[in-house]
């Protein structure tokens, strides 16, 4: 995808939300310069590791150039401001106040570069009465936003809140941040001015609870029971029964014509109130069949259905490889698979835009320090002085 070719993004972010955002921008064609502290950001050393290289880091940071600056050093901070002046977008996901202490907050950076789009991602946002500096990580945000208890409410009565393993808040906030950046860039085309994009993980998670937010405001209302796992002979399937046509097909498939005529199931409103009973009737049929047989029969009948699959099974899915969802990335330890951006652009002239060159290469720490500083106006002597005094670091194998 070439939509952002010629756009330089300065990425000060670490761990997940910010790096996920800028990783999406890489595949849109942006040049992303990742600024890391001496020794590299923490995820460079986080498992899973292969050949001493973090695959976790590779998934989030493929395609980015790596620059090492010590922002606590005055000369390192001055170098960062030089990069700001040469950039279109800046992304950071520190607690509010951290970038100000470093002299790299939005007002300072936009004074240096009035057209800069400055994007901040934090737990609770930079604007509003809540203490913006309170520490937050995705699982804490899940609990605070109502998300965890909403999920628990769909489980068996008395279930504990779910343990969090997938950091939904980080990924969602990162995706929304990329949208905010694109909106700000589009606005800049009209006004010539930059903007401060303020993304809060808490806001992002609350925005997921579309139905739940409305149910909470209506006395006596409750969310319908969720679609639940249905047991087959050798595992579980998920069946999505949405339309009346699917009910008719399901009744014929299972040999239960009474299901289609049952007033509890024949119309959408009552069906939502009686999904649990419907699931039980369907399960009487699925328990006698394998997951593969159930899935094939349901699909043939036009009823959405799938067996539960693992992530490892997804990585072996030829359809995902053919679509380009899965791509081969490379770092200095070798090749591995990553999930590409889910955004696809098909042009009117035909065909999908290809990923930018180098979008799946993971750069070693500091590999681009000299080149990027040179592009920001430093000569060879100035770069050598920065490295000698410890304000910057050269390539680290």
Indicate if the pLDDT at residue 397 is higher than 60.
no
Q: Report strand pairing: 53-54 vs 235-239.
A: unpaired
Does any domain span residue 166? Answer: yes
Rounded to the nearest 10 degrees, the angle between the axes of helix 275-286 and helix 244-254 is 30
| Residue 312 placed within a domain | no
pLDDT on residue 219: 82
Q: How many domains does the chain have?
A: 2
CB 18 within 8 A of CB 327: no
219 occurs within a structural domain: no
- On the question of pLDDT at 167 being above 90, the answer is yes
Q: Are residues 113 and 261 in the same domain?
A: no
Contact 333, 52 (CB under 8 A): yes
Q: What Rg, from alpha-carbon coordinates, does the chain have?
A: 25
pLDDT tens profile 66-120? 999 999 999 999 999 999 999 999 999 999 999 999 999 999 999 999 999 999 9
145-154, 217-226, 302-311, 318-327: which range is least confident on average?
Answer: 217-226
Q: Do 197 and 326 sit in the same domain of this protein?
A: yes
Residue 223 lies in a domain: no
Tens-place pLDDT, residues 191-204: 999 999 999 999 99
Residue 350: predicted pLDDT: 65
Same domain? For 321 and 298 the reply is no
- Give the global pTM: 0.93
CATH number of residue 14's parent domain: 3.40.50.10540
76 shares its domain with 129: yes
Q: Are residues 339 and 269 in the same domain?
A: no
Mean pLDDT of 155-182: 92
Q: Within the chain, how many helices (H) and strands (E) appear?
A: 19, 14
Full residue range of the structural domain in which residue 181 is found: 8-209+317-393
Q: List CB contacts of 356: < 8 A, sequence separation 6 or more.
A: 1, 2, 5, 26, 27, 29, 63
- d(CA 49, CA 8) in angstroms, rounded, equals 30
From 243, 277, 307, the end of a domain falls on 307
Is residue 25 within 8 A of residue 62, CB to CB? The reply is no
Residue 224, in any domain of the structure: no
Which one from 88, 170, 203, 262 is the annotated catalytic residue? 170
Catalytic residue check, 318: no
Whether residue 133 is found in the same domain as residue 234:
no
What band does 131 get if pLDDT is binned at 50, 70 and 90? Answer: confident
| Pick from 244-253, 311-320, 361-370: least confident | 244-253
Q: What pLDDT sits at residue 234?
A: 95
Mean pLDDT for the stretch of residues 306-333: 95
Looking at the chain, the whole-number percentage of residues with pLDDT higher than 90 is 77
Is the pLDDT score of 180 beyond 80?
yes
- Joined together, the tokens standing for residue 38 give 């001496």
Mean pLDDT of 224-243: 89
pLDDT reading at 317 higher than 70: yes
Residue 301 lies in a domain: yes
Query: Which residue has 């809140």 as its token pair?
Result: 161
Residues 302, 329 share a domain: no
CA-closest candidate to residue 116, choices 128, 124, 108 = 108
281 plus 376 within the same structural domain: no
Indicate if the pLDDT at residue 223 is higher than 80: no
Those residues whose C-beta lies under 8 Å from the C-beta of residue 187, and which sit 6 or more positions away, are 193, 195
CA angle 324, 327, 330 (to 5 degrees): 160
- Could you read off the pLDDT of 3-12 as tens digits, one per residue? 899 999 999 9
**Is the separation of the CB atoms in 200 and 124 below 8 Å?**
yes
CATH number of the domain to which 279 belongs: 3.30.1540.10
């Amino acid at each position: 995808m070439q939509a952002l070719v010629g756009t330089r993004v300065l990425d000060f972010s670490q761990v997940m939300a910010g790096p996920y955002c800028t990783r999406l921008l890489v595949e849109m064609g942006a040049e992303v310069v990742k600024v890391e502290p001496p020794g590299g950001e923490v995820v460079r050393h986080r498992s899973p590791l292969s050949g001493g290289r973090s695959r976790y880091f590779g998934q989030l940071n493929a395609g980015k150039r790596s620059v090492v600056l010590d922002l606590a050093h005055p000369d390192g901070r001055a170098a960062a401001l030089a990069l700001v002046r040469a950039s279109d977008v800046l992304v950071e996901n520190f607690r509010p106040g951290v970038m100000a202490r470093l002299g790299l907050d939005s007002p300072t950076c936009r004074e240096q570069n009035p057209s800069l789009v400055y994007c901040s991602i934090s737990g609770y946002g930079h604007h509003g009465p809540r203490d913006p500096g309170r520490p937050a990580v995705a699982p804490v945000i899940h609990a605070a936003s109502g998300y965890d208890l909403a999920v628990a409410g769909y489980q068996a009565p008395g279930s504990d809140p779910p343990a969090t393993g997938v950091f939904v808040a980080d990924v969602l906030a990162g995706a929304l941040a990329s949208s905010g950046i694109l909106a700000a860039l589009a606005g800049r085309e009209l006004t010539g001015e930059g903007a401060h994009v303020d993304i809060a993980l808490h806001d992002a998670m609350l925005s997921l609870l579309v139905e739940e937010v409305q149910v909470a405001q209506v006395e006596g209302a409750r969310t319908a029971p969720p679609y639940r796992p249905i047991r087959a002979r050798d595992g579980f399937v998920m069946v999505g029964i949405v339309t009346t046509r699917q009910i008719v097909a399901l009744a014929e498939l299972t040999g239960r014509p009474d299901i289609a005529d049952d007033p509890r199931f024949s119309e959408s409103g009552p069906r939502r109130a009686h999904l649990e009973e419907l699931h039980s009737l369907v399960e009487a049929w699925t328990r006698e069949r394998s997951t593969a047989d159930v899935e094939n029969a349901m699909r043939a009948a036009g009823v959405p259905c799938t067996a539960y699959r693992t992530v490892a099974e997804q990585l072996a899915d030829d359809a995902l490889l053919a679509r380009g969802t899965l791509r081969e990335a490379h770092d200095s330890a070798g090749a591995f698979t990553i999930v590409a951006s889910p955004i696809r652009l098909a042009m009117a002239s035909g065909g999908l835009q290809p990923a930018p060159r180098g979008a799946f290469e993971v750069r070693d720490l500091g590999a681009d320090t000299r080149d990027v500083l040179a592009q920001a106006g430093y000569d060879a002597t100035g770069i050598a002085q920065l490295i000698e005094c410890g304000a910057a670091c050269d390539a680290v194998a």
